[in-house]
Amino acid sequence: MSELFEIAKRTHAWACYDCGKCTASCPIARAGADYIPRRQVLGTNLGQSREIFSNGTLYRCLTCSLCDARCPAGVGFTQLVQNLRELAFHDGVEPECPHGGALQSAMRMMAKGGTQQNRLGWLTRDLKTDPKKGTVFFWTGCTMYYDAFFTDFNVHTLEGTKASIKLLNKLGITPVVSPEERCCGHDLLWNGDRTNFEKLVKHNVELVANSGAEVIVTSCAECLRTWRIDYAPYYTGMPPKVMHITEYIAANKDKLKFKKTDITKVTYQDPCRLGRHLGIYDPPRELLQALPGVELIEMLHHRQSSTCCAGGPWSNCDRYAKFIQVERLKEARDTGAQLMLTACPKCQIHFQCAMQDPKLKLDIEIKMRDIAELIADALAL
């Protein structure tokens, strides 16, 4: 198949020399799933579409890029999976979406447009924002939707959003927080739905361009990756600079005087989109180091080896994901930290979900907060 050939070329799949390091690294394969990344690469190179296109194989991958980080031949496995999913989507291959596809439905409705979302109900008077124009655009992402949906367990992703805005305000910035913002499309893209992704991109790029913003700051690692990498082909002219809130604050940390809080020991979950996808490991650590009295105790697997939260774009929820989450939470507990910090709402949601298990709760429960919240606390905001 010529499309497979093109994909193999584009993602360097042809470079594979069958060492199997990808399979050995893959958290899903190690959890015991019937999933072999190496076979997927070989299948692409040999044009075996039936094997590699099945829903079961294509959607096992967490797209966490641990294989990419380890591959000695430079095969772009994550990108390969993304390309294969798009190709398969045309043939009607879709993931088995958890939550009855609710999140995907909401995203597709946003892609279609036609309604005025009521997405800023959480904005309080003390958060200074502008709905239309500014030099800095704060990209909220879908945190308000997640908090509305996951009311059954401790999901408070909006706290990270609010804390990020407080941090920007403290630096004298009134960011744009737009009621016209739509989902960045990350999940739809990784579900193979390029068409709806493009509708979202078109809208969002225009929205930010009209605001006059030169910088986009976000507290969501997935939105960051999507804006920086996946939106890039859709810009005409100069793309805005896109930064994670930790990057932005770390670059400006000399202007801030951090105070002691009652938190002394923390651990930090490197999100795969921030870490392996974008190489951003240091800014969050620089910030934690700047906090007086706070000690960062790294988990066994950290930085480039950090374990994905196994949530994926709402297409990976299964017992292997649960196994990975439980193992990771045990690692977090082993550090003795009071708090597990995340830099991505998805990590927060998926680990909080895993903690609900009544049989494992005692062993894996740990308090979780977004890193922006702790930084804001250290500034008494």
d(CA 248, CA 240) in angstroms, rounded, equals: 14
Nearest distance, CB of residue 137 and other proteins, angstroms: 20
Rank residues 87 and 183 by Cβ distance to other proteins and give the closer one: 183
Q: Please check whether residue 141 is in contact with residue 147, taking contact to mean a CB–CB distance below 8 angstroms.
A: no
Q: Specify the stretch interacting with other proteins by CB under 8 A; choose among 109-117, 155-163, 345-353, 354-362.
A: 109-117
Contacts with other proteins, 140-159, as mask; x by CB under 8 A:
----xx--xx-x--------
Amino acid (one-letter) located at 326? V
Q: CB-hemisphere CA count at 13 Å for 56?
A: 6
Nearest distance, CB of residue 331 and other proteins, angstroms: 31
* 371 C-beta neighbours (distance < 10 Å), count: 28
Q: Please check whether residue 122 is in contact with residue 160, taking contact to mean a CB–CB distance below 8 angstroms.
A: no
Contacts with other proteins, 79-98, as mask; x by CB under 8 A:
------------------x-
Return the C-alpha torsion angle 258, 264, 269, 275, nearest 10.
Answer: 40
Quick check: 180 binds other proteins (CB under 8 A)? no
Rank residues 114 and 279 by Cβ distance to other proteins and give the closer one: 114
Q: CB-hemisphere CA count at 13 Å for 7?
A: 26
Rank residues 144 and 250 by Cβ distance to other proteins and give the closer one: 144
Rank residues 120 and 290 by Cβ distance to other proteins and give the closer one: 120
d(CA 108, CA 347) in angstroms, rounded, equals: 22
Amino acid (one-letter) located at 49? S
d(CA 284, CA 160) in angstroms, rounded, equals: 14
Exposure string over 43-66, b if 16+ CB within 10 A, otherwise e:
bbbeeebeebbeeebbbbbbbbbb
Among the listed residues 54, 105, 210, 356, the single contact to other proteins using CB under 8 A: 105
Among the listed residues 42, 73, 106, 229, the single contact to other proteins using CB under 8 A: 106
Mapped onto helix, strand or coil, the DSSP state of residue 8 is helix
Rank residues 20 and 101 by Cβ distance to other proteins and give the closer one: 101
Among the listed residues 48, 49, 117, 305, the single contact to other proteins using CB under 8 A: 117
Nearest distance, CB of residue 103 and other proteins, angstroms: 8
Rank residues 188 and 375 by Cβ distance to other proteins and give the closer one: 188
Residues 257-286 that bind other proteins (CB under 8 A): none
Among the listed residues 2, 92, 114, 236, the single contact to other proteins using CB under 8 A: 114
Among the listed residues 32, 74, 113, 293, the single contact to other proteins using CB under 8 A: 113
Residues 303-362 that bind other proteins (CB under 8 A): none
Q: Please check whether residue 170 is in contact with residue 381, taking contact to mean a CB–CB distance below 8 angstroms.
A: yes
Rank residues 99 and 133 by Cβ distance to other proteins and give the closer one: 99
Quick check: 109 binds other proteins (CB under 8 A)? yes
Q: CB-hemisphere CA count at 13 Å for 373?
A: 20
What are the structure tokens assigned to 85, written together?
Answer: 């999913």
Among the listed residues 9, 112, 255, 367, the single contact to other proteins using CB under 8 A: 112
Quick check: 99 binds other proteins (CB under 8 A)? yes
d(CA 205, CA 214) in angstroms, rounded, equals: 12
Nearest distance, CB of residue 153 and other proteins, angstroms: 13
What are the structure tokens assigned to 321, written together?
Answer: 């994901």
In angstroms, the Cα distances linking 203 to 60, 256, 329 are 30, 35, 38
Size of residue set near other proteins by CB under 8 A: 23
d(CA 235, CA 127) in angstroms, rounded, equals: 30
Residues making contact with other proteins (CB under 8 A): 97, 99-102, 105-106, 108-110, 112-119, 144-145, 148-149, 151
